[in-house]
Structure 1
Amino acid sequence: MTSTPPVQCLKVSQNENSLESNTLATSPQSSSQQQLKDLEEECGLIIRKDFDEITYQIEKYLQKQQQTYKKLR
């Protein structure tokens, strides 16, 4: 799998059809389909990692809020 910056991944998920047509114009169809599939997988991993981090930070914040609330009571 090729290394791709997250910005490019966001472009893929937001504008998949135009990216696919650009790729098809520059390479054979099977190769471009595989590249698109690889980018989608990589973007999926990045999104899951970001989602997990956001979830963790929210849970951590809520725990601190709960502790603070208990102290104030």
Structure 2
Amino acid sequence: MFFAYVWVGAFKAGIVRMLFLLGLWLTLLALAIAMWFGLTGFAMLGGYLGLITAILAAIVSAMTVISHGFAGDPNIAG
């Protein structure tokens, strides 16, 4: 439930960040359903969603690091 309202809060944070949080929420939901009911199909779905979520997390991380790197620090002489 936590990631559901964090996902809604991320609507203004950019599409990639929003998709990352949606993917995380759906991954955890699929894995929880797999464990609750013993459905291996949901475990596999959760695994694939987790891989996609990891790729989105890497993109979000790279976008953040690169944007901060290009912003520069005006206090550093260079």
TM (normalized to structure 2)? 0.55
2:11 aligned with 1:11: no
Stretches of structure 2 lacking an aligned partner (at least 5 in a row): 1-17
Percent of pairs with identical residues: 5
- RMSD after superposition: 3.1
Specify the structure having the higher radius of gyration (Cα). Answer: 1
Aligned mate of 1:40, from 20, 31, 50: 50
TM (normalized to structure 1)? 0.58
Q: Give 1:30's aligned residue.
A: 40
Q: Could you tell me how far 1:8 is from its partner in structure 2?
A: 2.1
Q: Label 1:8 to 1:70 Cα distance change in 2 as closer, same or farther (>3 A).
A: closer
Distance 1:21 1:56 in 2: 35
